[in-house]
Every structure is written in structure tokens, then in C-alpha cells.
């Protein structure tokens, strides 16, 4: 195995890349290369094949927004572009340092003060479907909430298709535990040869109670286990949230709403533990602002967007706890 410096990573700063041939499927210097990462497809970066165009309402602003997800060159990452803003920098790259607010959603912003809100559900779809590079054009301040889950975004990306690109995909391999704790809330990343997501929540509400989920997170697992799980909230909090400028677009069509000991949505829950599964979905989207998929285990307890972003920033601040890894054979032979 060879190591080289490749200068400045688009999101993570100066890095060293460990290159492993894509044919590896067993232990390589103590690291088990999962079969999923050993394929040529997953070893290379991908973008969308064609534009994906859709529209919807922002859950917090209530604004109707039109969106176009377009192909992007290699090493672009995910970049949001506010097409309604023309007099200043309207490009907002999804990056760890770009996250500026985390109250009931993840908000990213640039140096000009331009922001894009509620990106996490689309980011989770990008992460698990293997979209490394995309330009997301939108004509408003917030991504549409759709039905409150990632499933509409998965369907939209499926319709657009994906295109393999001629550059190695970079994975973030966790080498040592990283944890952030805030009272009874916590989030951590641990070494693992695959991406795993575990989450636990506890609510006083009898509708939720204590729930936990623990999954090896592949594209198939995301599609079948998490993608359709919706965001949720409590009816008694709605007026207070709206007074704060939040939840103005929220409805029974895009969120599970709880009142006392019952679900207000006529269709009920999609899964008995839909609540904790949605929290796991959120975490996947929040982690993808790192700009690369993770080889490691995420564990969250009572965590939300704020703790998730604290974990992201803790990871970036501890370069000895992780490294960038590629599995492209042509790069491994070239260095």
C-alpha cells in the first residue's frame, strides 16, 4: 500500500490518500475491504446522468421552491446554487464549515450570507445512492420537504440516472473513536470496515417511548429500511414554532404529527419505529457535508442536527483519527 499527499481536498483540507486496488476483498494491512467498496462502480465518483427537476414547499419557510439537480464535474462535491440571487455570490457548497444553523434542520451558508435550509433529506439520498458530484439549483431559501422523508429524492435521482466518472471516490476511514457529548445527548464515530448507523431515542410521549435501530448502511438498506421514514413533530409545539418563523409549511402531508397519545395522520405510521429511523436518516445526511462517504460506525443517542454537526467538526479537527482512502486500481498503480 502506498501513501501520497494530494494537496487540498475540496472539503477536508490537506490529506493523505491510502490507495487500495479495487480487486481487494480481504484483509489489507489490517483493514477489511468490503466487497461493496471493491467494485469498480463504487471505487469511482458518480454524478447524475441528466437534470432532475422538481418543486415543493419548504417545511419552515412555507415558500414554494423549484429545484434542478444537474451533473457536475469530478471533485465538485455537492454545491447548492440560489438562482433567485443574482447580485452576490449565490453558490453554497455543502461542507462541514458551511453549516451555520442546526435548529430543526441543517442550514448551510457562504461568506456572502447566502443560505440554503433543510438540506439533510436530499443529502442522505446523495450519500447512500453514491452521488459524489451535483449542482443543486433552487429559486428559494429552503429545499422542499416533499413528504418529509428521503424517498421522493431517491425516486427523483433514480429517474435522472447516475453516470460514472473518471476519478477515484474518496472514503473517510475512521481510525480512532471520536465522540461529542452534550448532557444526555451524544454522537460518536468508531472504526469499522463498513458504514454502520445506530441510533437511540427516548421520548416521554407514549406514541414514541424508547426506540433504537442498528443497520449496516448500504444503498439497498437505505432504500428498504430508512428512505420512507418521515420527519415528526408535536401538535402542541406548532404555534410556538411558527412564531419563531419555523414550521410554516408543515402539514400532515409532510410530517408525522403527534397529539397526546395518538398520531394525527389518517394513514398512521409507515413503520412502528419510524421516528428513530428518521433520526438515523437525518444523521446520514448531516454526515455527508464531510464530502465523502464514511467507512466507520456512527452511534447517536438523543442526538439532533446540532450534535451531528459538532461530531463532523470534531472529526475534521482530529486528522489523526481518520484518513482518506480510495479503491481505484488505476490510482493505486500510478502512485
**Active-site amino acid positions:** 305
CA distances in angstroms from 173 to 97, 134, 181, 259, listed in the order given: 20, 23, 22, 42
Give 289-315 as a DSSP string: GGSS-EESEEEEES--HHHHHHHHHHH
| Residues 147/89, Cβ–Cβ less than 8 Å | no
| Cell numbers for 39 | 467494485
| Residues 186/64, Cβ–Cβ less than 8 Å | no
| Cell numbers for 296 | 466507520
The residue whose grid cell reads 461530531 is: 311
Give 45-98 as a DSSP string: EEEESS-EEEEEE-TTT--EEEEEEE---TT--EEEEETT--SS--EEE--GGG
Query: Which residues share a beta bridge with 80?
Result: 92, 136
The residue whose grid cell reads 415528526 is: 232
Amino acid at each position: 500500500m502506498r501513501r501520497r499527499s494530494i494537496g487540498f481536498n475540496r472539503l477536508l483540507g490537506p490529506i493523505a490518500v491510502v490507495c487500495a486496488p479495487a480487486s481487494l476483498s480481504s484483509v489489507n494491512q489490517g483493514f477489511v475491504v468490503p466487497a461493496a467498496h471493491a467494485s469498480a462502480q463504487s471505487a469511482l465518483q458518480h454524478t447524475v446522468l441528466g437534470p432532475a427537476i422538481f418543486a415543493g414547499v419548504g417545511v419552515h419557510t412555507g415558500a414554494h421552491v423549484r429545484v434542478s439537480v444537474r451533473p457536475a464535474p469530478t471533485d465538485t462535491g455537492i454545491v447548492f446554487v440560489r438562482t433567485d440571487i443574482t447580485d452576490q455570490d449565490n453558490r453554497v457548497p455543502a461542507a462541514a464549515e458551511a453549516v451555520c444553523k442546526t435548529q430543526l434542520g441543517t442550514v448551510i451558508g457562504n461568506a456572502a450570507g447566502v443560505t440554503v435550509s433543510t438540506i439533510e433529506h436530499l443529502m442522505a439520498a446523495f450519500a447512500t445512492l453514491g452521488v459524489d458530484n451535483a449542482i443543486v439549483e433552487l429559486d428559494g431559501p429552503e429545499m422542499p420537504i416533499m413528504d418529509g422523508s428521503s424517498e421522493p429524492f431517491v425516486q427523483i435521482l433514480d429517474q435522472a440516472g447516475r453516470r460514472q466518472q473518471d476519478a477515484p471516490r474518496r472514503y473517510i476511514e475512521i481510525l480512532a473513536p471520536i465522540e461529542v457529548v452534550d448532557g444526555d445527548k451524544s454522537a460518536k464515530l468508531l472504526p469499522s470496515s463498513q458504514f454502520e448507523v445506530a441510533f437511540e431515542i427516548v421520548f416521554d410521549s407514549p406514541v414514541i417511548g424508547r426506540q433504537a435501530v442498528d443497520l449496516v448502511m448500504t444503498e439497498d438498506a437505505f432504500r428498504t429500511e430508512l428512505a420512507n421514514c418521515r420527519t415528526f413533530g408535536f401538535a402542541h409545539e406548532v404555534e410556538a414554532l411558527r412564531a419563531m418563523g419555523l414550521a410554516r409549511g408543515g402539514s400532515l402531508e409532510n410530517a408525522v404529527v403527534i397529539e397526546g397519545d395518538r398520531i394525527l395522520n389518517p394513514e398512521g405510521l409507515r413503520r412502528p419505529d419510524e421516528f428513530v429511523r428518521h433520526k438515523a436518516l437525518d444523521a446520514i445526511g448531516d454526515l455527508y457535508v464531510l464530502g465523502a462517504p464514511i467507512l466507520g460506525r456512527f452511534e447517536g443517542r438523543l442526538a439532533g442536527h446540532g450534535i451531528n454537526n459538532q461530531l463532523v467538526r470534531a472529526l475534521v479537527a482530529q486528522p489523526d483519527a481518520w484518513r482518506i482512502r480510495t479503491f481505484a486500481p488505476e490510482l493505486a498503480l500510478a502512485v
